[in-house]
Chains A and B, each alone.
Chain A
Amino acid sequence: MVMLLFIRTPRKEVFPCHYLICDIFTYLLFIFFTAHQILSLTGISFERKSIIGFVELTIVPLKDNLRYVRLNSKQCRIYRVCLNDQYEANFQYCDPFLDICQADPNTRSLEMFSQCHLSAAQRIDPDHNSGELHIQVPEEAAHLVGEGRGLRIGIEFSLESPQGGMHFVVPEGEGTLVEKSAHMFTYGKSARLWFPCVDSFAEPCTWKLEFTVDESLTAVSCGELLDVVYTPDHRRKTFHYVVNTPACAPNIALAIGPFETYVDPHMNEVTHYCLPNLMQILKNTVRYVHEAFEFYEETLSTRYPYPCYKQVFVDETEDDSTAYTTMSILSTHLLHSIAIIDQTYVSRKAMAQAVAEQFFGCFITMQNWSDLWLAKGIPDYLCGLYSKKCFGNNEYRYWIHQELQEVVGYEEQYGGMVLDPWQPPASGARVDPKDMFYFPVRNVHTMSPRYIEVMRKKSHLVLRMLEQRIGQELLLQVFNKQLSLATNAANTKIGSGLWGHLLLSTNLFVKAIFTVTGKDMAVFVDQWVRTSGHAKFQLTSVFNRKRNTVELEIRQDCVHERGIRKYVGPLLVQLQELDGTFKHTLQIENTVVKADITCHSKSRRNKKKKIPLCTGEEVDMDLSAMDDSPVLWIRLDPEMSLLRGTVISQPDYQWQYQLRHERDVTAQSEAIDALHNYPEPATRKALTDTIENEQAFYKIRCRAAHCLTKVANAMISSWAGPPAMLTIFRKMFGSFAAPHIIKQNNFDNLQHYFLQKTIPVAMAGLRNIHGICPPEVVRFLLDLFKYNDNSKNHFSDNYYKASLVDALAATITPVISVLQPGAPITADSLSADTKLVLEEITRVLNLEKVLPCYKNTITVSCLRAIRRLQQCGHLPSIPTIFRAYAQYGMYIDVRLAAFECLVDFVRVDGKPEDLASLLTAVESDQDPGVRHGLARLLINNPPFERAQRHRLDTESVVHRLWNNINSHLANDARLRCDLVDLYYTLYGLKRPICVPLPEIQAMMKQMHNKERERLERERELQKEKERQKELESQPVIKQEIEDVKYEPEIGPLEELPPVPLIPDLKDDNLPVPVSSIKEEEIKIDVTSVQDMPIRVYSDDSKREFISDNAAPLPGIPGTSGPIGFEPGMFRHDKELDLSGPKAKKKKKEKKKHKHKHKHKHSSKDKSFKDKDRSLPPRPASSTDHLKIKEETRETLSSFSSSQSPSEDMSTMQSNMSF
């Protein structure tokens, strides 16, 4: 089908040329380099979302006979290519991403796709000296080319409605563009999406940037603003920027809008831009940006490499922040007023990160994709140092610990990551098949966004490990050396050949470390950068009383599991004994290492003496829980100097000591994790004490609260006294005179603030013996709502209120219904507690409409709570409300929360249409952040399990996803990779089960259907003739039928931009489809009709593929099951196509017939129904009449029952019986 389309597209001319080029032109690395580039955008139109521009690259050929130049350019329309303003050059355009699996169009397996994906990415990889745009140096211009002589290539281009790389935010509604704060910006790191260039991080050059915009707008771009010149008519002005420090194309960005400008009061070089009306919160948000600058300059002992820095806060970004040369584009959602607490941490870190990336990532870039880990890891590492200073050491260690666990978790699920896959380690070890990813890891355009995220964390951890190996000071000196080399190089002209210092690669980095420190880190790099995976240790210990030793056993049993590899080298074990902390370094050589460690202290628990800790403090401990071992607790690798997972077995009391007395947050956090498994009074006491301990880190206290919930639930039968944490909460937050009434809010103590937010949620997780939340806890929570008083507070309580709603949601347990099963749920049938909860939720949600809080946090929580009520059967599972909140124009957080609920709804009760509408949103929502976010939601909570023959697991979904990753998302690499992730989650590496191989299908079909098919076709033909006559006598009806019928043929063509289509087809393609159910029904009709041609062949055969007499499960609607291709089906399709309306009619008729046939076997598809409904009743004509009657009956009954999914199911069963 896809092929069919392409044949008719203009791309047809493009494809063959690709192979041609490959044949005659072998890859030559670096046949030229770029010295300077001019980018001039003149016609920037917000109405049409288009730009018209001109670029001029000055390239320096490295050889005399340069005949071709390849540049990167996507989605741009190129009008003219000119060499040195004189000679017009021929050019060809070929983007393999437009059809990635062109060679094998029928494959549906990710294995195949992965290969094609990588080769497509490499075919246009500028590092391989290739690109989409192939410019031929004409014969007459050959004399211009000479080694070392500059050649100017001018390209005129335009870009309309960009699908990626550049985003126009044009809000709907009244008013001028300025009033509506319309703006645009570029996003991602793919400059080729908006102008032709050499889109490589390894090609730095100087820039001249010119943007002509409306007089009321501001254009912010990289480099220094030289001048703003008005056009002669004074209605537009041109911003001239110049980048003198060499920068590579992906680091060039642009933002245009009616920005308000704020020059940083501490640093004049720094300018902040925000959208109108946000100036006040902008000032507050950027208050500490100068500190980040000062910190980095001081730490690296280097001056900031650029003359200026700009922060632009824009709406609808994909990421919180993206750094470009001298500027960062940040999300406007980072802005917050001084009264907001939680957002502050996020915003500060995001901005600090962006500043760090100015040094590494923008100024010093990577040589190749394989060096991505340095470009990502170094700024992360620097930002980590800054946040350690800014937020404290505990926060920093806790963060590192979290990252380590996340990396370990990801690797164990998906496979070990190799940070630098370019060069195998010296040992020559190859990547284990168990560590192979389902996407190519050698190019950033093919990597899963989640992988990039985790890789960034791993890089950070590896750099931190490096810091531990060579010392922080020396590592910073290495950075400093790189920066000073680069600064020197940046001040020279390109001819000096020093610009290579602006690039950093793994090898260069290792060399630099050696030069500065004299230490050879090659082994380290081999071990952690070029080898995949992490280590995993299991530690058990036995105390030998006679010899006063601890017999440790460290095993690495899991080395053959995914993501885990054997570690050889030193490992630090830290023992806390009665006499102090003792560190022992063990050499790990085998998978099993045994060591006897002599204890320093005799067992002497009766003596009262303070116990020294690793910090030098001496503390009193209650040692009554110990047996005669002098060991209080054991830790493995306490400084996280390895990438490792640990499983430490020690008795419960040791964990409790560790939680109470170990001063390291990571140890405390590990102890809490372990204590989940020991529900007993001593654990309860230890956790309670931790929550109450004012000296403890607040995040540990919060985690202890959650752990206590689990512990309390596990020991519910023996639990005495009030519900866990109630007393603590009252003691801390209850008012003096009446402890059951909470104090007026005062969040000045931020530790208490976080506890006040956490404890109610933790308490809401408590369950009594009946498995429900204790009534007193519910009352307690409702009282918190009632008595919440923020009037005297310095801070906003929106996050606190949201967490109270979360807590209410967490109290909800599955309904114990007294109703008849199947009876509709009404407001009266709710239980008393549920009524109270629902009333509270309704009240705060309604109140939010009048008095919206910061970021609508309460609405977000309310939506989740409503979904929770639906999940537990208290409310009917209706998606309408979520659809309303998910529409464009709601706040982004609210939209994503609503989508989260919708995704969950689809998984539980969704119909194929619901899934289709979600996919439509993924494909075409206006906000790139929502597209990406929704795709991630679908991956995390997939609509159906792999190979379970779920009702949603249909062939059309396979094709839809496939078409997206294969061709439709050519311009949005990130979303494409998101959908690859989704495809993998849903179907795995192999061909989806619901799409059988065409060979098998055909075989089965031949065996079973051949005869029947033939008969049917004959009959259909006859009927068709009859009907044709009828229809001709009824022109109106005919029109209607044709409308419906044409869609399947034209539908898939929609992605071809220039073809004007029938209006309601366009509707289908428009974003924001989730506005109302009525609309959706129409829309769904159209989408499913698109797939008709495929189904024609599949309905029968797919059933047979499953098994000869497989009957679909009763009650599952729309089990259309697996379908696939048949040899020659495209040809057949085409024939039909060519033979005009008559043939089409025939096909449709045939489908109808099968449809009927299908009903007998209980499978049913709503889309057909809907379409049938649109057909007018026909005059009686023999058997035809009978059939129509049957269908109508069913249509009516199912129509009336389509209100709720459960009802739908019940009617379905009754239908099935006829």
Chain B
Amino acid sequence: MSEAAEKVESASDARRRILNIAVSTVLLETGFDSADKVALETLTEILQCFFTEVGNAAKGYCELSGRVEPVLGDVIMSFVNMGISIQGLEQYAARPNRHVIQPPQQAPAPRTPAMLSAGSKAKPAPHIPFHLPPLPDPHAYIRTPTHKQPVTEYEAIREKAASQKRDIEKALTKFLAKTSETHNLFNTDDNQVYPLIACKPTFPAYLTCLLPTDQVFDFDELEYHFQVANRTEDMPPDKKDNSDNEGDNGNDDTANSQTDTQDSQAPPSPKT
């Protein structure tokens, strides 16, 4: 974007330079030896305004008459409309000591970059009429991956998850070990290699241990899971054996046949 702005600027610069030269030439003809920069710029500005006004008016007339491009008549009309006489203009243009301004050097037209062709163009299918343009490059209509495909291999994922988790834990414990008091396992003074964070007595001590924070459980969900979703009481007895309750249904053994009846009453819930 910044490049385009630069170009516009340079184009207007070139135009303005030409106008500048034109004004200077007329001034020279008129007999001025020098002109203030400010004066010159003002004159240039006036000239530019004049041209713009003429151009605009000519465009208006041209569009009024249903054309796209102005013709000489339009320009003349605009002059007339502006109240400028065009008599003597021809003579003036053909005056003997007029200076001819060199036409500005044609700037080399920027080469349009060659179309990036990706792959070979597909031949139009037979049902497409021949008059239609050829198909564009395949990348224009074929889906191409825009990012790297994530790894779906189980092993790698587990590996990555494990090492990430471990890194986090390591960093955390290392930080804590550095910032808090530590126990030393060795008799040495430095305790850099295997520092153990010192334990702090808490009161009451049972609270953190009975309400652990190492994992976050949604207890309502668990409740649902164990009490409702995994209910075994309502299951037909044959299915019951497949339910994962604890090992007592493993082998209903015992020579004691009287106790077998006890066994069939499965524990109230899998979470015994």
Query: Does B172 make an interface contact (CB < 8 A)?
Result: yes
Q: Is the CB of A392 within 8 A of B158?
A: no
Q: Which residues of B contact A798 (CB under 8 A)?
A: 212, 214
Q: Which residues of A contact B219 (CB under 8 A)?
A: 280, 337-339
Alpha-carbon distance A699/B165, docked complex (angstroms): 33
Cross-interface CB contact of A638 among B198, B251, B255, cutoff 8 Å: B255
Q: Is the CB of B246 within 8 A of A751?
A: yes
Q: Is the CB of B253 within 8 A of A275?
A: no
Alpha-carbon distance A838/B169, docked complex (angstroms): 16
Query: Does A555 make an interface contact (CB < 8 A)?
Result: no
Q: Is the CB of B215 within 8 A of A796?
A: yes
Which of the segments A40-48, A848-856, A1162-1170 contacts the partner chain?
A848-856
Query: Does B209 make an interface contact (CB < 8 A)?
Result: yes
Given contacts A695-B250, A798-B214, A889-B201, contact A852 B263 (CB under 8 A): no
Q: How far in angstroms is the closest Cβ of chain B from A742?
A: 9
Q: Is the CB of B199 within 8 A of A885?
A: yes
Q: Is the CB of B245 within 8 A of A750?
A: yes
Mask for B129-158, Cβ within 8 A of A = 1, else 0? 000000000000000000000000111001
Q: Is the CB of A390 within 8 A of B259?
A: no
Which of the segments B66-74, B96-104, B105-113, B184-192 contacts the partner chain?
B184-192
Mask for A602-639, Cβ within 8 A of B = 1, else 0? 00000000000011000000000000000000000011
Number of A residues near B (Cβ < 8 Å) is 108
Query: Does B271 make an interface contact (CB < 8 A)?
Result: yes
Query: Does B1 make an interface contact (CB < 8 A)?
Result: no
Cross-interface CB contact of B186 among A180, A315, A826, cutoff 8 Å: A826
Q: Is the CB of B244 within 8 A of A847?
A: no
Mask for A972-984, Cβ within 8 A of B = 1, else 0? 0000000000000
Q: Is the CB of A824 within 8 A of B188?
A: yes
Q: Is the CB of B203 within 8 A of A173?
A: yes
Task: From B158, B186, B250, B260, name the one whose CB has the most chain A CB atoms within 10 angstroms.
Answer: B250
Q: Is the CB of A748 within 8 A of B272?
A: no
Cross-interface CB contact of A1203 among B161, B187, B210, B270, cutoff 8 Å: B187
- Residues of A460-479 contacting chain B, CB below 8 A: 472
Q: Is the CB of B170 within 8 A of A843?
A: yes
Q: Which residues of A contact B35 (CB under 8 A)?
A: none
Q: Is the CB of A741 within 8 A of B155?
A: yes
Alpha-carbon distance A848/B176, docked complex (angstroms): 12
Query: Does A335 make an interface contact (CB < 8 A)?
Result: yes
Query: Does A1055 make an interface contact (CB < 8 A)?
Result: no
Alpha-carbon distance A789/B166, docked complex (angstroms): 11
Q: Is the CB of B248 within 8 A of A338?
A: no
Q: Is the CB of B204 within 8 A of A315?
A: yes
Query: Does A1006 make an interface contact (CB < 8 A)?
Result: no
Query: Does A697 make an interface contact (CB < 8 A)?
Result: yes
Which of the segments A67-75, A234-242, A812-820, A875-883 contacts the partner chain?
A875-883
Query: Does A663 make an interface contact (CB < 8 A)?
Result: yes
Query: Does B126 make an interface contact (CB < 8 A)?
Result: no
Given contacts A181-B204, A393-B263, contact A615 B154 (CB under 8 A): no
Q: Is the CB of A839 within 8 A of B247?
A: no
Q: Which residues of B contact A854 (CB under 8 A)?
A: 209-210, 212, 214
Q: Which residues of B contact A852 (CB under 8 A)?
A: 208-209, 212-214
Alpha-carbon distance A1203/B184, docked complex (angstroms): 14
Query: Does B48 make an interface contact (CB < 8 A)?
Result: no
Residue ID in chain B nearest A889 by CB atoms:
B201
Q: Which residues of A contact B60 (CB under 8 A)?
A: none
Q: Which residues of B contact A639 (CB under 8 A)?
A: 255-256
Q: Is the CB of B207 within 8 A of A698?
A: no
Interface magnitude class on chain B? 35 or more
Alpha-carbon distance A846/B188, docked complex (angstroms): 20
Q: Which residues of B contact A391 (CB under 8 A)?
A: 246, 248, 267, 272
Given contacts A392-B247, A748-B270, contact A881 B185 (CB under 8 A): yes
Query: Does A1144 make an interface contact (CB < 8 A)?
Result: no
Q: Is the CB of A697 within 8 A of B262?
A: no
- Residues of A370-422 contacting chain B, CB below 8 A: 388-395, 397
Alpha-carbon distance A315/B206, docked complex (angstroms): 8
Q: Which residues of A contact B265 (CB under 8 A)?
A: 389
Query: Does B196 make an interface contact (CB < 8 A)?
Result: yes
Query: Does B125 make an interface contact (CB < 8 A)?
Result: no
Alpha-carbon distance A748/B155, docked complex (angstroms): 23
Q: Is the CB of B199 within 8 A of A388?
A: no
Cross-interface CB contact of A855 among B158, B184, B210, B257, cutoff 8 Å: B210
Cross-interface CB contact of A615 among B176, B225, B253, cutoff 8 Å: B253
Q: Is the CB of A796 within 8 A of B251?
A: no
Q: Which residues of B contact A393 (CB under 8 A)?
A: 248, 252-254, 256, 259-260, 262-263
Cross-interface CB contact of B196 among A169, A638, A842, A876, cutoff 8 Å: A842
Cross-interface CB contact of A884 among B170, B195, B199, B217, cutoff 8 Å: B199
Q: Is the CB of B251 within 8 A of A695?
A: yes
Given contacts A754-B247, A852-B214, contact A845 B196 (CB under 8 A): yes
Q: Which residues of B contact A614 (CB under 8 A)?
A: 255
Q: Which residues of B contact A574 (CB under 8 A)?
A: 255
Query: Does B162 make an interface contact (CB < 8 A)?
Result: yes
Q: Which residues of A contact B263 (CB under 8 A)?
A: 392-393
Query: Does B51 make an interface contact (CB < 8 A)?
Result: no
Query: Does A348 make an interface contact (CB < 8 A)?
Result: yes
Alpha-carbon distance A665/B203, docked complex (angstroms): 45
Alpha-carbon distance A881/B194, docked complex (angstroms): 13
Q: Which residues of B contact A315 (CB under 8 A)?
A: 204, 206
Alpha-carbon distance A371/B165, docked complex (angstroms): 59
13 contacting pairs across A/B (C-beta < 8 A): A281-B211, A388-B259, A639-B256, A735-B158, A751-B250, A794-B226, A824-B186, A827-B194, A849-B197, A852-B209, A852-B214, A885-B199, A890-B205
Given contacts A393-B256, A697-B250, 9 further A-B contacts (CB under 8 A): A390-B272, A392-B249, A393-B252, A695-B251, A696-B250, A698-B246, A849-B173, A853-B214, A1203-B187
4 residue pairs, one from A and one from B, having the closest CB atoms: A392-B248, A889-B201, A663-B253, A171-B203
